[in-house]
């Protein structure tokens, strides 16, 4: 069945770049999403990428999409302590947007 | 602009009890969903709705009922609570199309003892 996989933990030093990786199985999606969850809060849409794009840049965020390998990555430049959170990759299955399959989430820890 | 409001924030139930988790949105979104979040498993879709009067099952619907009588409200009912339903529950809504993604509520942390 459809699946989204992410590594569970990432630790980086403040000011370095963070790269969070995701692989997915449903290739019919028009969009792929990155959500951020801060402690005790709901998920917040961070960014998304159209499936016909290879890259999208939004300020400190860069999303790379490799459709051949079904691989999605999120790069955060100049990582700050406020970036500490759980990051979820999400893939809408069956070509629609009503059923999002989420990865297990990558917990990003930023240390001085 | 409240967005998606979930109540209660915390709840403890005894096995076999029933309860309703409330969800309301003020953005006039047609599409609403309920997810549960368990450690190490991401979010899993329970039920979703594409408009008033229309609901459908997600990945893990057993033990839960939903209804959508208005655009604003999408309550989730636990029929007979079980310890396996201990989780954090999120309600989410979105406008048509995919570019805006879902807006999530802040969650209800449910413990079944």
> Mind listing the pLDDT tens digit for each residue in A12-67?
999 999 999 999 987 777 889 999 999 888 899 999 999 889 999 999 999 999 99
**Chain A residues within 8 angstroms (CB to CB) of chain B:** 4, 8, 30-31, 33, 35, 40-45, 48, 88, 92, 97-100, 102-105
Q: What is the pLDDT of residue B40?
A: 78
Cα→Cα distances B5→A38, A91, A95, B73, B93, Å: 17, 24, 28, 10, 11
Name the residue among A31, A42, A44 with its Cβ closest to that of B98.
A31
**What's the CA gap between B19 and A1, in Å, rounded?**
32
Given this model, what pLDDT does residue A25 score? 86
Question: CB of B76 within 8 A of CB of B68?
Answer: no
pLDDT of residue A93: 76
Mapped onto helix, strand or coil, the DSSP state of residue A46 is strand
Cβ contacts of A102 on chain B, cutoff 8 Å: 35, 42-44
What is the structure's pLDDT at B1? 63
Residues of A in contact with B104 (CB under 8 A): 35, 42-44
CB pairs below 8 Å between A and B: how many? 61
Percentage of chain A lying above the pLDDT 70 cut: 96
């Amino acid at each position: 069945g459809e699946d989204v996989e992410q590594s569970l933990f990432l630790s980086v030093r403040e000011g370095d770049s963070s790269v969070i990786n995701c692989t997915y199985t449903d290739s019919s999606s028009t969009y792929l999403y990155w959500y951020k969850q801060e402690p005790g809060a709901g998920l917040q849409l961070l960014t998304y990428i159209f499936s016909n794009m290879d890259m999208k840049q939004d300020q400190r965020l860069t999303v790379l999409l490799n459709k051949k390998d079904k691989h999605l990555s999120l790069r955060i430049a100049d990582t700050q302590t406020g970036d500490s959170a759980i990051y979820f990759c999400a893939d809408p299955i069956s070509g629609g947007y009503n059923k999002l399959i989420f990865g297990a989430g990558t917990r990003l820890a930023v240390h001085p | 602009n409240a967005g998606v409001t979930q109540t209660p924030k915390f709840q403890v139930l005894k096995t076999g009890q029933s309860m309703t988790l409330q969800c309301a949105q003020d953005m006039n979104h047609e599409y609403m969903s309920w997810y549960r979040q368990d450690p190490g498993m991401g979010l899993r879709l329970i039920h979703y709705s594409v408009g008033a009067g229309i609901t459908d099952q997600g990945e893990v619907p057993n033990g839960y009922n939903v209804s959508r009588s208005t655009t604003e409200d999408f309550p989730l009912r636990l029929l007979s609570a079980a310890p396996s339903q201990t989780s954090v529950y999120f309600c989410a809504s979105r406008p048509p199309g995919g570019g805006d993604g879902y807006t999530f509520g802040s969650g209800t942390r449910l413990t079944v003892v």
